[in-house]
């Protein structure tokens, strides 16, 4: 089995309140992008994950795919697997790479071993693995609430479907736990559900990521990156998730020669 787990971006991210379980209630719009990892899954005598590309610094037993397999085995009769995973999606960038890997693993296993789970049942397995993992089951643009795991369709500016997306990630990454510790939850004047339906040209004035102040304070050069992307013709520029990744949306591919050479830089399309 070979699959291609894709990344995502957040269009806006509001941190509403801290919950009694130490998670946070959020509101965000999730949309997939065509930046993908590559995962090969084969039966094996023992479970093993071999990582290629970026070193994520996690052994097999600490990988969320292993945790998901252990969870699945409690309900289904499954063999062990040998997984080869090419990491093209940067970690710690807010792009959801690990969560997507887990979601694509359960989708492939569900199909190959005829587990007959529907999307909702697969999402139930994933919700404790990663708050944004359930999104990658359907990969449809969605309003995400609660921990990010409650999904529903959202109306959006249709210009988005023909838009180019550029991802820019610095060498320095952001720790999610530390990022949340530096956020003061609050409710916005208008919910993201209303703002996404505005023309895209208005988004930069209204749609914000609550982590931006903290992340730009930690990685000062990202402010200059944002300015450069707007100067090259971006319609909207923002951070994605709680990581250090920045993205732009534009009507045409941007000239990226002015960006730092040691950054991860990628351009592609959104998934609908």
* pLDDT value at residue 22: 85
Residues 53-57: what's their mean pLDDT? 79
Q: Which two tokens stand for residue 146?
A: 């609660």
pLDDT band at residue 64 using 50, 70 and 90 as cut-offs: very high
Angle between helices 119-126 and 97-112 (to 10 degrees): 130
Report the DSSP pairing between strands 6-18 and 38-44: unpaired
In tens, the pLDDT along 235-267 reads: 999 999 998 999 999 999 999 888 888 999 999
pLDDT of 45 = 95
From 14, 132, 149, 210, active-site residue: 132
Q: Where are the domains of the chain?
A: 2-152, 156-271
Q: Is the pLDDT of residue 100 over 90?
A: yes
What is the SS3 assignment for 92-124? CCCCCHHHHHHHHHHHHHHHHCCCCCCHHHHHH
pLDDT at 174: 87
Q: Give the homologous superfamily in CATH for domain 156-271.
A: GHMP kinase, C-terminal domain (3.30.70.890)
The whole-angstrom distance between residue 243's C-alpha and the CA centroid of its chain comes to: 10
57 pLDDT tier (thresholds 50, 70, 90): confident
The reply to whether 132 belongs to the active site is yes
Mean pLDDT of 205-211: 95
Q: How far apart are CA 267 and CA 174, in angstroms?
A: 22
What is the fold, at CATH topology level, of the domain defined by 2-152? Ribosomal Protein S5; domain 2 (3.30.230)
Q: How far apart are CA 108 and CA 153, in angstroms?
A: 24
Does residue 58 surpass a pLDDT of 80?
no
pLDDT for residue 157 is more than 80: yes
Q: In terms of DSSP bridges, do strands 164-169 and 264-271 run parallel, antiparallel, or are they unpaired?
A: antiparallel
Reported as a single tens digit per residue, the pLDDT across 107-139 is 999 999 999 999 999 999 999 898 999 999 999
Task: Say whether pLDDT at 55 is over 80.
Answer: no
d(CA 229, CA 183): 26
**Sign of the C-alpha dihedral, residues 242, 248, 254, 257?**
negative
């Amino acid at each position: 089995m070979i699959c291609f787990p894709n990344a995502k971006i957040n269009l806006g991210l509001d941190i509403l309140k801290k919950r009694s379980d130490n998670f946070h209630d959020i509101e965000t719009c999730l949309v997939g992008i065509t930046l993908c990892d590559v995962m090969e899954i084969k039966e094996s005598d023992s479970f093993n994950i071999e990582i290629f590309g970026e070193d994520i610094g996690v052994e097999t037993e600490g990988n969320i795919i292993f945790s998901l397999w252990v969870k699945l085995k409690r309900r289904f009769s499954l063999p062990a697997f040998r997984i080869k995973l090419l990491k093209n999606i940067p970690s710690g960038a807010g792009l959801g790479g690990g969560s997507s890997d887990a979601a694509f693993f359960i989708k492939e296993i569900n199909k190959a071993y005829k587990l007959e789970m529907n999307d909702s049942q697969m999402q139930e397995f994933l919700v404790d693995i990663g708050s944004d993992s359930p999104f990658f089951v359907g990969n449809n643009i969605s309003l995400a609430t609660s921990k990010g795991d409650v999904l529903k369709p959202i109306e959006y500016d249709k210009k988005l479907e023909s838009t180019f997306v550029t991802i820019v990630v610095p060498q320095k990454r952001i720790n999610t736990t530390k990022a949340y510790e530096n956020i003061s939850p609050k409710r916005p004047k208008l919910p993201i559900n209303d703002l996404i339906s505005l023309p895209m040209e208005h988004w930069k004035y209204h749609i914000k990521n609550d982590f931006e102040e903290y992340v730009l304070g930690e990685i000062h050069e990202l402010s200059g990156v944002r300015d450069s992307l707007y100067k090259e013709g971006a319609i909207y520029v923002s951070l994605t998730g709680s990581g250090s990744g920045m993205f732009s949306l534009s009507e045409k591919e941007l000239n990226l020669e002015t960006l730092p050479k040691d950054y991860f830089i990628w351009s592609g399309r959104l998934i609908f």
